[in-house]
Amino acid sequence: MTKPWQDKLRILDPYVPGEQVKNKNIIKLNANENPYPPSPEVLKALRLIEPRKLNMYPNSGAAPLVEALAQYYGVESSQILAGNGSDDVLALCFMAFFNSKKPIFFPDVTYSFYPVWCRLFGIPFETKPVDENFRIKTSDYYGENGGVVLPNPNAPTSISEGREFIKDILDHNRDCVVIIDEAYVDFGGYSCVELLKEYENLIVVHTFSKSRSMAGMRIGAAIGNKELISVLNAVKNCYNSYTMDSVAIDCGVAAVKDDIYFRQTLKKVISTRDRSARAFEQMGFTVFPSSSNFLFVTKADISAKDLFETLKKENIFIRYFNLPRINNHLRITVGTDEQMDILIEHVKAYIEEH
C-alpha cells in the first residue's frame, strides 16, 4: 500500500562506487586508490594535531590549504576553492555554473557521477559518443550548450588528450563554463592549469585521492578565475560553510609541501603501470593508452564479467561495468609490483583454462 508521503520523495539512481570489502586479505584494485601510503609529513601532521582544534570550527575557507595550493600552482589564493574531495567540489561546480535551460555536454563513456548530479540538480544534459577507440571528438562540443565537463585523463578509459585538444574545446565554448576534471592528471596527463591565464571560463578540478594517496581524507580543489571561485564559495556557504575539517586541512598542507615524496610515488606507480600494460598485451589483451593510475583492457575471446567474477573468488578485486559499449572491458587499478604480479598470474591461469 502506498503511503501518503511517498509521492513527495525524490527517486534517483545513485552513483555506485567500487566495492569496499571489509576483508583485509584481498588485493584491492577496483577503486583507483594509490597502493602507497601518503607522505611521512602527512603522518607527522596527524600526530601534531592539537586537541583544541577538534572542539572548534575549522577555518571555513580552508585558508592554509588554499594558500599552499596557490603557491604550488603559481596562482593567487582567490583562484582556489578547497573542498571535501573532488566529488564535493564538482557538485558545487554543477550547482554554481550550470543554471541555463541549455544542456551541458560530456562524453557517453566517462565518470558516472556526472549524470547523477544532473538528475539531482535538474540540469539538462547530452552525452556525446566517444569514437570506436574511446577518444573524445572535439567537434561534438562545438554546438550551443549550457556548459562542458571533460575528464582528462578520462575514466574509465584512462585516455588523455593534450594542450591543443583542450584549447580547441575552450575556443569553441567561450560563452559557458568548461570544467576539466583532472583527477588522474599527475600520472602522465596534460594539466591545463596554465590555460587559466588565457580562458576566464575555465575551471580545473584536482583531487588528493589518487596521486597523493589520501582517498580516506577527502580533499579536492577547484582552480579558476577569481569571479568563478567567488561564486563557488557563495554556493558552498549556502549549504555548508565548513566543508573541510581541521585535520584534513593540516594534512593537505603537509602533502602539498612534500613534493619529493609525491614525485617518487608517481614514478613508482607509472613504472608498474607500464610494465603491467606490457604483460596484459603479451596475454593478448587490448590495453588502451593510460595516463592514469589504472588500465582499461579487453580481450575479445573471453568474458570480462566472468574473469571479474573468477578473480573476485580469489580475493582479487578489479572493476567491471555492466554498461553499454564497455560491458566486455575491465578497469584495473595499478597496485604494487607484488600485487600486479599476483593478478597477472591469475589472469594467465584463467586464459589457459578457457
Peptide bond between residue 14 and the one before it cis (omega within 30 degrees of 0): no
One domain, residues 96 and 213:
yes
Concatenating the DSSP letter of every residue in 301-323 gives TS-HHHHHHHHHHTTEE-EE--S
Phi and psi dihedrals of 268, rounded to 5? -65, -45
Considering the domain boundaries, does residue 1 fall inside one? Answer: no
Q: What is the CATH number of the domain that holds 312?
A: 3.90.1150.10
Q: Are residues 186 and 298 in the same domain?
A: no
Domain co-membership, 183 together with 323: no
Residue 181: all three cell numbers together? 576534471
At 1 the pLDDT is 60
Q: Count structural domains, the chain.
A: 2
**Residue 334 sits in the same domain as residue 246:** no
Torsion angles phi and psi, residue 346, rounded to 5 = -70, -35
Q: What is the pLDDT of residue 225?
A: 97
Q: Which of 242, 257, 272 is the last residue before a domain boundary?
A: 257
Domain enclosing residue 341, as ranges:
14-38+260-353
The angle, 0 to 180 degrees and rounded to 10, between the axes of the packed helices 226-239 and 85-97 is 100
Helix (H/G/I), strand (E/B), else coil: 46? helix
- 6 located within any domain: no
3-state secondary structure of 295: strand
**Predicted pLDDT of residue 2:** 75
Is residue 7 situated within a structural domain? no
Based on the domain organization, do 178 and 201 belong to the same domain? yes
Handedness of CA 250, 252, 254, 257 (dihedral sign): negative
316 backbone φψ class: left, alpha, beta (φ>0; ψ -120 to 50): beta
CA dist., res. 31 & res. 171, Å (int): 34
> 163 and 58 in one domain?
yes
Q: Are residues 189 and 321 in the same domain?
A: no
253 and 113 both lie in a single domain: yes
Q: Which three cell numbers, joined as nine digits, stand for 74? A: 603559481
Per-residue pLDDT of the chain (354 residues; tens, 9 = 90+): 678 888 878 888 887 777 777 677 899 999 999 999 999 999 999 999 998 889 999 999 999 999 999 999 999 999 999 999 999 999 999 999 999 999 999 999 999 999 999 999 999 999 999 999 999 999 999 999 999 999 999 999 999 999 999 999 999 999 999 999 999 999 999 999 999 999 999 999 999 999 999 999 999 999 999 999 999 999 999 988 988 999 999 999 999 999 999 999 999 999 999 999 999 999 999 999 999 999 999 999 999 999 999 999 999 999 999 999 999 999 999 999 999 999 999 999 999 998
Q: Nearest Cα to 242, choosing from 53, 76, 113?
A: 53
- Do 156 and 74 belong together in one domain? yes
Is 227 a member of any domain?
yes
